[in-house]
Structure 1
Amino acid sequence: MAKGKLKSYTLAEVKDEFIGRKGTSEREQYEYELRMDVLGHMIKKARQERNMTQEELGKLVGVQKAQISKLESSTNSATIDTIVKVFKALKAEIRFQVKMEGQYLHLG
Structure 2
Amino acid sequence: MISDGTIVTLPRNRKKGIDVNEFIDNTVGKPGSNQRNQFESELKMEVFQELIKAARKKRNLSQEELGQLIGVKKSQISKLEKGYENTSIITISKVFNALKATVRISVEIDGQHLEL
Q: TM-score range by the shorter chain?
A: 0.7 to 0.9
1:91 equivalent among 97, 100, 105: 100
Name the structure 2 match of 1:31: 40
Please give the per-residue CA displacement for 1:39-71, whole angstroms capped at 9, x wherever unaligned: 101100100111101111111112221111111
Greater CA radius of gyration, 1 or 2?
1
Equivalent in 67, 82, 88 of residue 73 of structure 1 = 82
Give structure 1 regions of 4+ aligned residues with deviation exceeding 4 angstroms: none
Identity of aligned residues (%): 48
Aligned with residue 72 of structure 2, among 59, 63, 79: 63
Q: Which has the higher strand share?
A: 1
**Corresponding residue pairs, total:** 103
TM-score by length of structure 2 reads 0.81
Superposition TM-score, scaled by structure 1 size: 0.86
Unaligned runs of 5+ in 2: 1-14
RMSD over aligned Cα, in angstroms? Answer: 1.6
Instruction: Report the secondary structure of 1:14's partner residue.
Output: helix
